[in-house]
Structure 1
Amino acid sequence: MKPMTRRTLATLSTAVALGVLLPACAPLVVGGAAVGTALVAVDRRTSGAQLDDQGIELRAANRLREQFGERANIAVTSYNRQVLLTGEAANANVKAEAERVVAGVDNVRSIVNEIGVVNSPSLGQRSNDTIITGQVKAGMVDAKDLSASAFKVVTTRGTVYLMGRVTQREANRATDIARNISGVTRVVRVFEIITEEELAKLASPVKAEEDAAKRNATGGNN
């Protein structure tokens, strides 16, 4: 590990990449992209999608708690209305039922069910998962060719889940960072793949806002 200085209901119409990788495996991604360097420093979801994701997480978590109580410890993470379920369930029936419950939540487009039929992790394991998440995020911040804000990172029992609207180049780079963190046993990619051209279009309004802010700061002389 390099030292850190800082820091399945449906397939979407746009390409969604779901890859399960051991640290030595080659990544699996669905969708095309060309190599490029454009980065977006802000959330790549629309404001509506961001609000929907917040609502999905809250409603799904409440329904799961009401349905299962102590029989399951399930975390809900939504990105661009695609839901990742992680955590632990008492048995396979609970795991399957949890997916059906979340499928009934408004605005959910697809579900990746990664709930484990295992005992809940110890406090030590949970703490280690938190550390791993922080190290992955720090690695993304340190990387000069990635926009860390484009990714969501979730770690459960040593497995790192990566979510976001990213290019294949970005997906591969982020995977490489995650799988080289100490304690990571595998990396699961839950990406919506976009092209470099789509990324450039996302970057255009951001650059325009930055240029306008600079002009305002200098009295409009630039």
Structure 2
Amino acid sequence: MNKRTLPRLAGVLLLGAALGISGCSTITGSSGYGTRTSYAIEQDTRIARALWDSIRTDESLDGTHINVDVYNGFVLLTGQAGSDAQKSRAGELAKNLHGVRHLSNELSIGPNSSTQQRLQDTWITSRVKTRLTTSNHIDSDRIRVLTENGTVYLMGLVRYSEADYLVRLVSQTSGVDRIVKAFEYLNG
């Protein structure tokens, strides 16, 4: 393994653990408004894999910590880049992929977050998902929750009133520094 592979492999393993703990991998199972089709889920998976492969093999992005999430063609980039050029490059790679409907490039410029911070973020995500799952106001399968450096990112297909409810719910969770809505809004 070279110097680039080991940190990326560690990041992939940590991401896999975070997804398993937080329940982010549960994206189907509900029916009715606001749910995605199997085709949309397959396309999101295709986009995420293609983007991740592009980021991983682009030497100009060495040393970055970039998370990729896709929900209904909306791409969210979180993590850290060492420069504005690296942030822009990651955004370009996303925009050039077929099927990307919207990009939220939330990469911060600075050093990569520590393992301790990533574990804290996983813990915050778990608590938010638990609150969401026990709520009777919205189907938690329609919402994706991610946390990076104390910022909670919310994705999904929601009504404006549901987004407001979700922000109130998340803001009551300790450890949350900021909330970013990366929703696709439904009429009504």
Fold similarity call, TM over 0.5? yes
1:32-73, Cα deviation, whole Å (9 max, x unpaired): xxxxxxxx9347112211110000111100100111453311
RMSD over aligned Cα, in angstroms? 1.6
Whichever residue aligns with residue 77 of structure 1, its letter is D
Partners in 1 of 2:99 and 2:37 — Cα distance? 14
Post-superposition shift, 1:146?
Answer: 1.3
Amino acid at match of 1:132: I
Q: 1:52 aligns with which of 43, 54, 67?
A: 43
Partner of 1:143: 135
Among 111, 119, 130, the alignment partner of 1:119 is 111
Moved over 2 A (4+): 40-43, 68-71
**Counterpart residue number, 1:17:** none
| Matching residue within 13, 25, 30 for 1:41 | 30
- May I ask how many residue pairs the two structures share in their alignment? 158
Unmatched runs of 5 consecutive residues or more in structure 2: 1-21, 23-28
What is the aligned partner in structure 2 of residue 157 from structure 1? 149
Task: Find the structure with the greater CA-based Rg.
Answer: 1
TM-score normalized with structure 1 length: 0.68
- Normalized per residue, the structure richer in helix is 2
Task: Report 1 or 2 for greater relative contact order, CA contacts < 8 Å, sequence distance ≥ 6.
Answer: 1
The 5 A counterparts of 1:1-222 are 41-42=30-31, 44-68=35-59, 70-196=62-188
Q: Given residue 104 of structure 1, which amino acid in structure 2 is its aligned partner?
A: N
Q: TM-score normalised to the size of structure 2?
A: 0.80
Question: What secondary structure does 1:44 align onto?
Answer: coil
Identity level (%): 32
Q: What is the distance in 2 between the residues matched to 1:173 and 1:41? A: 19
Output the amino acid matched with 1:136: V
| SS of equivalent residue, structure 2 residue 108 | coil
